[in-house]
Amino acid sequence: MLREPFRIYSKNIESILFISLIVLLPALLFHNYIVTVSYYIATIYDNTFFGDMTNILFLLVLFTICQVPFIAFTFSEMDDDENKLKKSFAVFLKFGFSIFLFAISYTVLSILGLLTFVIPGILILVFLFPLPYISVLKDQPVRKVWRTAFLLAKKNFFKLLSLLALISFIEMIIGYLMNIGISYITQNSLAFVICNMLINLLVFPLLIIIVSVNVKKWYFMADFHSEKIQSREVSV
C-alpha cells in the first residue's frame, strides 16, 4: 500500500514540489488569511464556533481542489505517460471548476452530517471522497462519474475509511511534533505558520499519492472500467 506511493514520490520529487509551489502554496496562503480574519471576527463577537467552522469549511474545499494535479500526476506516472507535469496542470484546468462546485457541496454536506448525527457525516465523507479521483481517472466531470465513485466506495468502504483515518493520523502527528519542536526554539506565531506550510507542501502530495495509487488499484481490481459499469453512468 505504501511502497508504490513512496517510489512515485521520491522519483518525481522535483515535479511534485513544483506543483506544490504553483497550486498548493497559494491555497495555503489564502487559507491562512481567511482563518486569521475569521478568528479575528470570532474574537470580536466572542464566537469561536464561527472561526472553527470557517476554518474547516475552507480547509476541506481547498484540500479537495488541490488534490487534482497530484492525482493526475500519479495516474500518469503509473501509466508511464510522457509530459506528466504538463498533463497534471491541464487536468487541473479542465476539471478545476466542476470539482470546485463539488467541493463546496461535499464540504457543506459533510459538516452538516457531522454536526447532526456524526455517522451520516462519516458516510458522506467516505462515499463522496473518491469522486475527484474517478473524475480524473475516467477523464470526465464529477457529475458523470458519481455512480462509479459510489460503487467503488461501497465495495471498499472499510479500506477507504481506514486509509483516510491513517492519513489524518499521520498528518496530525507530523503537525503535532513539528509544533512541539518549534516551541522549543521560538514562540513566534509566524514561525509556526511558515513551518506548517512547509510541512504541508512536502507531506500533502505524498498523502494524495497514497490515496491515488490505492483508488486506481481498487478501480481496476473490481473491473469498474468494464462496459457494464460504464453503461450505468448517467449521461448529463
d(CA 92, CA 97): 9
- What per-residue confidence (pLDDT) applies to 201? 92
- What per-residue confidence (pLDDT) applies to 221? 83
Q: What are phi and psi of 30, to 5 degrees?
A: -65, -45
d(CA 52, CA 35): 8
Distance of CA 161 to the CA centre of its chain: 14
Q: Provide the residue count of the chain.
A: 236
Residue with cell 477523464: 139
Distant-in-sequence, close-in-space partners of 153: CB < 8 Å, separation ≥ 6: 126, 127, 128, 129, 130, 160
d(CA 41, CA 145): 39
Q: What is the pLDDT of residues 164-182, one digit of tens each?
A: 888 888 888 887 888 788 8
C-alpha atoms less than 13 angstroms from C-alpha of 178 in its C-beta half-sphere: 17
Residue with cell 448529463: 236
- What per-residue confidence (pLDDT) applies to 181? 82
Distant-in-sequence, close-in-space partners of 15: CB < 8 Å, separation ≥ 6: 73, 84, 85
Among residues 65, 68, 59, the alpha carbon closest in space to that of 33 is found at: 59
- What per-residue confidence (pLDDT) applies to 233? 52
- What per-residue confidence (pLDDT) applies to 236? 41
Among residues 71, 97, 101, 86, the alpha carbon closest in space to that of 5 is found at: 71
d(CA 136, CA 209): 13
Q: What are phi and psi of 86, to 5 degrees?
A: -65, -40
| Mean pLDDT (10-residue bins), the chain, 236 residues | 88 95 94 90 86 88 94 94 91 92 91 82 89 94 89 91 86 82 80 86 93 93 59 46
d(CA 154, CA 156): 6
- What per-residue confidence (pLDDT) applies to 1? 63
- What per-residue confidence (pLDDT) applies to 66? 94
Q: Three-state DSSP class for 219?
A: helix
CB atoms within 10 A of CB 106: 21
- What per-residue confidence (pLDDT) applies to 226? 55
Among residues 101, 95, 105, the alpha carbon closest in space to that of 141 is found at: 95
